[in-house]
Amino acid sequence: MYDLRTYLATKDLPGGPVYIEEQFTAEYQLMNPQVVDSNDDRPLTPGRAIGGLISLALLVGTGVYLFLAW
């Protein structure tokens, strides 16, 4: 089965529509019991902690910028 939304969005392209199989779509993977039931219990590494802090700083910075720009 193919992802209908991707087909409808790309059906008028010069190269033809893009077909993505359903098992590769985000909706299918989120509903997959193997993905939903898996726990992310990997240990926190320094790289993941630093990456999380950088992501948080960027998110807060964007929020402050949008708040002040308004």
Residues 19-65: tens digit of each pLDDT: 777 666 777 767 766 665 666 677 889 999 999 999 999 999 999 99
Global pTM? 0.46
What's the pLDDT band for 67 if we cut at 50, 70, 90?
very high
List Cβ<8 Å contacts ≥24 apart for 10-17. none
Amino acid in the structure at residue 25: T
DSSP state, 24?
Answer: G
**b or e along 26-57 (b: 16 or more beta carbons within 10 Å of the residue's beta carbon)?**
eeeeeeeeeeeeeeeeeeeeeeeeeeeeeeee
